[in-house]
Amino acid sequence: MNPPRLLDGKAVAASVLDECRAEAAALKAHGITPGLAVVLVGEDPASQVYVGSKARTCAELGFHSLKIELPAATTQLELLEVVRGLNADPAIHGILVQSPPPKHIDEAAIIRAIDPRKDVDGFHPENVAKLVLEDPTGFVPCTPAGCMKLLEEAGIATTGAEAVVIGRSMIVGKPIALLLVSKAANATVTLAHSRSLDLPAICRRADILIAAVGRPEMVKADWVKPGAVVIDVGINRVADPTKKSGYRLTGDVAYAEVAPRCAAITPVPGGVGPMTIAMLMKNTLQAARQLTGVRSGGV
């Protein structure tokens, strides 16, 4: 087989962000500055990196960015009060509470407290329902939306394709299964997981294989049909004493052995990861348009 085509998330994300920058400028001409608030509870290092990246991207696009950092001891009631304040703030169009919060916080209750019109993560039950109903006014979770954008930009046909999604979380697995089976994509979808019987055999049926299970290099070469398209959503830290950091990043796919079998594959890092923040910015623009009633062109 020929070498696989790399699905470059950095390049596609850069294109999406360029469109977002132009859209933000168009909204500003109408007196609207898109506003995103990110709330971080505690001092999880990975979460701090993600939040910092979101704030930098907002600044680069000309968004209003509000970063609220709360101590790990913040109570459920205190966090709910912060969310209610952001719900009422007209300068804020998108609200994101960084996951995971400390264990004493009921994350589901916090998600439900966010105004669904500002839920740019797409996790509120109202937005989940809109995804099922294929209602375009809802917000699609950012990582699944990024995966679909990668497939679209690469010109990979989904209509009639057999797609297998490994992982059933509400963050990635279930939403991307719904997107793939929607009338816009028309794929035939199997939603599998770690307890599926003979998971390798299920994966071998896939024309499009999405790995979102959170297990380093779980998907091996003999799981993949020759010529398949593989989207690796996983990003895992694996100990590596040869690295200055003491670890390396790897996906849910054993890249070195799987890539030669693929028609196309996402690298880790540099594949799905950059798309997540790009689609968050896109969702924030959608929220700003819908909340203000200003239509200045789509992204």
List the catalytic residues. 54, 98, 121
Ramachandran category for residue 31: left, alpha or beta (phi over 0 → left; psi -120 to 50 → alpha): left
Residues facing residue 94 across a β-bridge:
36
* Cβ neighbours for 65, distance < 8 A, ≥ 6 positions apart: 35, 36, 37, 38, 54, 55, 58, 59
Q: Which residue has the tokens 């909340």?
A: 291
Does residue 284 contact residue 276 with C-beta atoms inside 8 Å?
A: no
The SS3 of residue 201 is helix
Task: Provide φ and ψ at 8, rounded to 5°.
Answer: -85, 95
Q: Measured between alpha carbons, how far is 228 from 241 in angstroms, rounded to an integer?
A: 33
Q: Measured between alpha carbons, how far is 247 from 265 in angstroms, rounded to an integer?
A: 23
Does residue 64 contact residue 36 with C-beta atoms inside 8 Å?
A: yes
Q: Which two tokens stand for residue 18?
A: 């360029």
DSSP 219: B
Residue 67 CA, distance from chain mean position: 20
Q: Measured between alpha carbons, how far is 115 from 107 in angstroms, rounded to an integer?
A: 15
Rg (CA), the chain: 19
Residues facing residue 253 across a β-bridge:
219
